[in-house]
Amino acid sequence: MLRIAVVGATGAVGRECLKLLDRGTVPVGRVVPVASPRSLGRRPAAELGLSLAVDPMTTVEALDPRELDVAVFCAGAELSSREAERLAAAGVLVVDNTSAFRMRPDVPLVVPQVNPAALARRPAGNLVANPNCSTIQLVRALHPLHELAELEGVVVATYQAASGGGLHGLAELAGESARLLADPEAQGAPNGRFGQPLAFNLVPEIGLQDDTGLSHEERKLVREPRKILGLPDLRVSATAVRVPVFHCHSEAAHIRLRRPVSTAQVEQALADTPGLRVYRRSDAAPSYPMPRTVFADDESRALVHVGRIRVEPQDPRSVAVWIVADNLWVGAALNAVQIVELAVKYGWLS
């Protein structure tokens, strides 16, 4: 039975990791919740109704790697950069949810439904990177289309929920929305979690822009799919927008294929892919996914939802799709837990 530390256990993703581990899909002996010193004394097992054996809350500096098999990091790139390699060097398998190691050539960037072979052997450095939340749902929809007719290029616009800003982001959106509903003339704080007021607004910048005008989030969307799909020359153009939605990221993806396809072929390729829920035009209305319905139940939260599937009439190599997924589950915690499941399946983590 595995001994697993969840670093950032009181944050939005860490809490979801604990709840998913409690489902029993990973052979867990005990869980060590890790957070900042101000969280010492909190009891996540009681707060979340867990049946797992959960240790008292501790800090990352106090972790003893000799007492751990796995550490899932969900607490930001700065902490991961400082502490993850210390644990990995001591033999702990580290699954990192941040951007700290994703593009390092020696670190696998893994979506179990897309590139499971990346974990057929234990990584020499004991580090595995979880991709960006928007990347995960995108590549899970792209992968079957690449197998169908080979990808040539992707143009994607993301519509990212406030939960991407963690518990503070959710609280900020709720508070701003309440204030504006009470007083439409109220001004939101321009220096909050999202850089600009988010309530009843759209913010087309997630992270700082570089010299080319790409934001930090857009750079991740351009680079990470190439590594995961094994397509280093794939053309990707991305625009990332923060939207006043509490949960679930949405994406409008326009995909260029190397061979012509029909809408029926695209729908069938996606429908045949485990973990995807496909919405066809012939379905009862609405024939497309939406954040509120995707977040409605655990079964839906665990899937990638794809609708508005259409092939350009004048260009049968061009496909447009609408993708929605729960960024806290599919885009973070669930992918991390499934990485651990995959390592157990391959037999090198026991």
- Domains of the chain, by residue range, sit at 2-131+332-346, 135-326
Q: State the average pLDDT for the chain.
A: 95
247 is catalytic: no
Phi and psi at residue 21, to the nearest 5° = -60, -30
pLDDT at 189 over 70: no
pTM for the model stands at: 0.95
- Among 140, 132, 146, 160, residue whose Cα is nearest residue 319: 146
Q: What is the pLDDT of residue 289?
A: 97
Give the per-residue pLDDT at 281.
Answer: 85
User: What is the per-residue DSSP string for 127-166?
Assistant: EEEPPPHHHHHHHHHHHHHHHHH-EEEEEEEEEE-GGGGH
285 has pLDDT over 80? no
- pLDDT tens figures, 133-180: 999 999 999 999 999 999 999 999 999 999 999 999 999 999 999 999
SS3 2: strand
Tell me the per-residue pLDDT of 240-251, one tens digit each, with 9 for 90 and over: 999 999 999 999
Catalytic residue, chosen from 17, 74, 133, 248, is: 133
Same fold yes or no, 2-131+332-346 and 135-326: no
Q: What is the CATH number of domain 2-131+332-346?
A: 3.40.50.720
Is 133 labeled as catalytic in the residue annotation?
yes
Catalytic option among 143, 146, 247, 249: 249
Fold of 135-326: Dihydrodipicolinate Reductase; domain 2 (3.30.360)
Q: What is the mean pLDDT of residues 50-75?
A: 93
